[in-house]
């Protein structure tokens, strides 16, 4: 098993990236061809054996950079996408360790600072710890929506009350696949409250391309012909991700709870979505909100490496949590 960095052109001459993602053990929408094109990804790590690509990892950084910093806010689960794994658990662990060791070797050779998240399906991070990476434990929140008729049974009392309130006030649920009803500026304003920095143009491009590729949609709540809230989603391979949202505080009608309930049922019935990923947050109020829908915790890791040692990593992480 060997690893190397290849250009997007070389990769595309060898595989169909989207087919690779769809048939993989852990591929997500954040590694699809349209998404990485928007992010201007030019290079990939590939791990291969006998000229067969076993895993790949898009490199979300400038060519020639010595820093790889794949923010979990905009590139969730930016680690390796693995083609397939053995079914038997013992062999699965060994195989994944080989994949990750090969990845670590090339990343440390190329970069002096590394930060990325590895998706929840990869639970064994010992290869990273043994090679000087510091793991940061994170949680995302997921909801099984495969049986939409049972969803309400798991909602908290307040969420059910808000949904009833919206319905009693004739709030209407609509899809917005032309982005004519959603105010992208409000998505960006809402994000800025939590310190995130996106441009209106960037968010619009992501959503437009997602809609065009049937990997996303915006959903809106309307009261008396006025849009009072919106949620932007991305999805692929049966998992949908809540990326953007806002609501009009002038309308105390449980707007987001109403939207979530309708979105979950719509995606389950119309897009074959099995799980909603709420995109876990370090903000306690957001966590409580996610849990109130019956979501469960799914642990994943941010992995950090700095050639100057763990003390430098710790200082960076401390500064982040102080914000």
For 8-36, how does the pLDDT look when each residue is reduced to its tens digit (9 = 90+)?
Answer: 999 999 999 999 999 999 999 999 999 99
What is the sign, positive or negative, of the torsion defined by CA atoms of 288, 290, 294, 299? negative
Poorest-pLDDT segment among 66-70, 103-107, 310-314: 310-314
Local confidence band at 322 (pLDDT 50, 70, 90 cut-offs): very low
| Radius of gyration of the CA atoms of the chain, in A | 20
Q: Which CATH superfamily is domain 146-273 in?
A: Gcn5-related N-acetyltransferase (GNAT) (3.40.630.30)
2-137+302-322 and 146-273: same fold? yes
Give the whole-number percent of the chain exceeding pLDDT 90: 72
Domain ranges of the chain: 2-137+302-322, 146-273
In degrees rounded to 5, what are phi and psi of residue 190?
-65, -45
Please tell me the number of Cα atoms within 13 Å of 320 on its side-chain side: 12
Average pLDDT over residues 168-184: 95
Q: What is the pLDDT of residue 308?
A: 84
Give the whole-number percent of the chain exceeding pLDDT 70: 91
Nearest to 231 by CA among 240, 73, 223: 240
Q: Show Cβ contacts of residue 188 under 8 Å, excluding neighbours closer than 6 positions.
A: 198, 199, 200, 203
Q: Rounded distance, CA 282 to CA 271, Å?
A: 29
State the CATH class of domain 2-137+302-322.
Answer: alpha beta
Q: Tell me, what DSSP letter sits at residue 92? A: H
Is the pLDDT assigned to residue 76 strictly greater than 60?
yes
For 107-153, how does the pLDDT look when each residue is reduced to its tens digit (9 = 90+)?
Answer: 999 999 999 999 889 989 999 999 999 998 888 899 999 999 999 99
């Amino acid at each position: 098993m060997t690893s190397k960095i290849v250009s997007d052109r070389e990769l595309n001459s060898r595989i169909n990236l989207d087919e690779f993602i769809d048939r993989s053990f852990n591929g997500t929408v954040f590694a699809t061809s349209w998404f990485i094109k928007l992010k201007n990804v030019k290079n990939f790590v590939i791990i291969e054996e006998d000229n067969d690509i076993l895993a790949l990892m898009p490199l979300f950084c400038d060519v020639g950079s010595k820093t790889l910093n794949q923010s979990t806010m905009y590139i969730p689960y930016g680690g390796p996408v693995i083609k397939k794994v053995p079914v038997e658990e013992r062999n699965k662990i060994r195989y994944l360790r080989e994949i990750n060791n090969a990845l670590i070797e090339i990343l440390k050779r190329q970069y002096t600072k590394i930060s990325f998240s590895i998706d929840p399906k990869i639970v064994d991070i010992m290869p990273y710890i043994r090679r000087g990476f510091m793991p940061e434990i994170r949680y995302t929140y997921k909801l099984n929506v495969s049986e939409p008729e049972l969803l309400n049974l798991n909602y908290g009392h307040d969420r059910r009350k808000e949904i009833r309130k919206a319905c009693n006030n004739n709030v209407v649920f609509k899809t917005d696949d032309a982005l004519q009803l959603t105010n992208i500026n409000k998505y960006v304003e809402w994000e800025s409250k939590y310190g995130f920095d996106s441009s209106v143009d960037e968010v619009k491009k992501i959503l437009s391309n997602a809609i065009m590729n049937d990997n996303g949609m915006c959903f809106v709540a309307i009261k008396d012909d006025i849009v009072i809230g919106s949620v932007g989603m991305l999805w692929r391979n049966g998992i949908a991700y809540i990326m953007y949202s806002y609501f009009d505080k002038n309308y105390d009608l449980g707007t987001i709870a109403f939207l979530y309930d309708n979105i979950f049922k719509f995606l389950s019935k119309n897009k074959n979505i099995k799980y909603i990923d709420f995109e876990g947050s370090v903000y306690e109020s957001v966590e409580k909100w996610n849990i109130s829908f019956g979501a469960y915790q799914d642990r994943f890791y941010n992995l950090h490496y700095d050639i100057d040692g763990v003390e430098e990593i710790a200082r960076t992480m401390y500064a982040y949590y102080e914000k």
